[in-house]
Amino acid sequence: MDRQVADHSESRFAAYVQALTSVMGHAHRSAALKDYCVGLLAAEGRKSVEPIAAVTAPAKVSAQHQKLLHFVANGTWSDKQVLAKVREFVLPTIERYGPIEAWTIDDTSFPKKGSHSVGAHHQYCGELGKQANCQVVVTLSLANHHASLPIGYQLYLPEAWTEDAARRKETRIPDSVYFKTKPQMALEQIQAACEAKVPRGVALMDSAYGSDTSLRNGMRTLELRYVVGIWSHVKVQAVGTAGERGPRSSVKDLALRLPHHAWRTITWREGTNDVLRSRFSRVRVHASPTRGRRGQPEETLLIEWPEEETEPTKYWLSNLDEKTPFRRLVDLAKLRWRIERDYLDLKQEIGLGHYEGRGWPGFHHHGTLCIAAYGFLISEQGTIPPSGTRSSRRLTMPAIPENYRPRGAPNPTRTPRSKFDCDAA
């Protein structure tokens, strides 16, 4: 039975690679695509080009290294087209467990020691939780409670990079790329998803994005629903039951004025070992930044204030229908955990941050191929019966030479690898 399962997995992987190759322009790229994805799934430790070459061609590592390096660093294939094909292939698996519920905007960072890798700059690094030298990528993912999949992935380029002609040339940054804020990049990815007629979900994002008025206005123009985090100092006007507006104040000040009966304890997820609950309140508000401005729609301000905290901890604005059930509103706001899980798995299991090249094309090609490998794992989860063994590694991999060690790597030790869990907790 195990051999039969493995054979079916191999045949599905072959079909997946063929589907992706169809948008790469040349059939001869199929072997390199397959090897790179297999290496991302199979290599232990760092998943840069050389360890991938050792996994996929142990008898001719040097030649394989050069082939894969050319494929990822210099290939002229389109990241956009490959990501669209991944989405086309994987989305039916995700939707078997329910419709797409969310479009999640986020960014993820990769700490860097040097300043020569494209986009590397001293900026806020989410992975480290502080200012540090790093690269930052803005992403858009589709999600429901079963799984999520990144469909947009682009490096944020600080102004110091966009204005440096020498570094642009050295790292092959396209002429069409110029400075954009992260919220501007997010809106472009959302617009592209709308144009591609991707199944719509409620847009979710943290306060770094949700506090941006232009981004919220852009989503309303696209008739996109959202539940977005905002900073505590964002100002709003509470709306009374008769439509009257209260004084303009920060959402924190508004929350602190709410009576005790305005708060309600809500459970939004019940896992195997834990129950996630907290205390919430919601208020209808106007969030227009211009005093006296009319025509802005009312929105819902959602506030979280855990019992053990001395003040509210999180705030969201939502343009969902006023009659949306309270628990559903909280559930959507909290669904952002999916993207955090995505990037934990993409970094730890697939090697998303392991690319060692410096150029713009290779950086994005590596990210695209990591998402492609991850997408295949998501599609494979759909083939496992509920009682079956869950495993993220079901392909037959060639053995690494016993004495092989990538240049500069420590003596390799095999570490436990967490299994993917794409079911809602």
Structure tokens at 73: 């660093």
Structure tokens at 310: 């001395």
Residue 143 has pLDDT above 80, yes or no: yes
Rg over alpha carbons for the chain, rounded to the nearest Å, is 23
If we measure between CA atoms, which residue out of 124, 278, 88 comes closest to residue 197? 88
Can you tell me the mean pLDDT for 275-302? 82
pLDDT in tens, 181-192: 999 999 999 999
Residue 289 has pLDDT above 80, yes or no: no
3-state secondary structure the chain: CHHHHHHHHHHHHHHHHHHHHCCCCCCCHHHHHHHHHHHHHHCCCCCCHHHHHHHHCCCCHHHHHHHHHHHHHCCCCCHHHHHHHHHHHHHHHHHCCCCCCEEEEEEEEEECCCCCCCCCEEEEECCCCEEEEEEEEEEEEEECCCCEEEEEEEECCCHHHHCCHHHHHHCCCCCCCCCCCHHHHHHHHHHHHHHCCCCCCEEEECHHHHCCHHHHHHHHHCCCCEEEECCCCCEEEEECCCCCEEEEEEHHHHHHHCCHHHCEEEEEEECCCCEEEEEEEEEEEECCCCCCCCCCCCEEEEEECCCCCCCCCEEEEECCCCCCCHHHHHHHHHCCHHHHHHHHHHHHHHCCCCCCCCCHHHHHHHHHHHHHHHHHHHHHHCCCCCCCCCCCCCCCCCCCCCCCCCCCCCCCCCCCCCCCCCCCC
Quote the percentage of the chain above a pLDDT of 90.
74
List all residues 6 or more positions away from 12 whose beta carbon is below 8 Å from its beta carbon. 379, 380, 383
If we measure between CA atoms, which residue out of 352, 389, 370, 378 comes closest to residue 12? 378
**Residue 190 corresponds to which amino acid?**
I
Q: How much is the pLDDT for 10? A: 87
Burial bucket for residue 145 (CB in 10 Å: 0-12, 13-18, 19+): middle
Q: How much is the pLDDT for 234? A: 96
Q: How much is the pLDDT for 202? A: 98
Q: How much is the pLDDT for 271? A: 63
| Backbone phi, psi, residue 319, to 5° | -105, 20
Residue 388 has pLDDT above 50, yes or no: no
Domain ranges of the chain: 2-204+339-381, 207-334
Can you tell me the mean pLDDT for 135-161? 96
pLDDT in tens, 44-91: 889 999 999 999 999 999 999 999 999 999 999 999 999 999 999 999
Q: How much is the pLDDT for 399? A: 42
Range picked from 352-356, 378-382, 399-403, 410-414 for highest mean pLDDT: 352-356
Structure tokens at 214: 């232009």
